Amino acid sequence: MPWTKQDYPTSMKNLETRVRHKAIDIANALLDEGYSEDRAIPIAIAQARRWAEEDHEEKTASRDSSS
């Protein structure tokens, strides 16, 4: 069952909004690739958190270098 920004697993409810949206996108892609929901959810959450950390680091680095 694909998830939406309004209908998503309860394990994603405490994620920051942008991280949750990314996790939903990743989880849906994993489902399309044949992953079970039980595997797709934790993988998607971990990858979305990593994406958010890397995105934050890139933004911080670009701000620091433009100063």
Q: How far apart, in whole angstroms, are the C-alpha atoms of residue 8 and residue 2? A: 9
Q: Is residue 48 part of a domain?
A: yes
Q: How far apart, in whole angstroms, are the C-alpha atoms of residue 66 and residue 16? A: 27
Q: Is residue 3 part of a domain?
A: no
pLDDT band at 47 (very low <50, low <70, confident <90, very high): very high
Q: Is residue 11 part of a domain?
A: no
Question: DSSP string covering 1-59, please?
Answer: ----SSS--GGGTTS-HHHHHHHHHHHHHHHHTT--HHHHHHHHHHHHHHHHHHHHHHH
- Full domain range(s) for residue 50: 18-65
DSSP state of 35: -
Q: Is residue 52 part of a domain?
A: yes
pLDDT band at 56 (very low <50, low <70, confident <90, very high): confident
- pLDDT the model gives residue 35: 98
Question: Using one digit for the tens of pLDDT, what is the confidence trace for 4-37?
Answer: 999 999 999 999 999 999 999 999 999 999 999 9
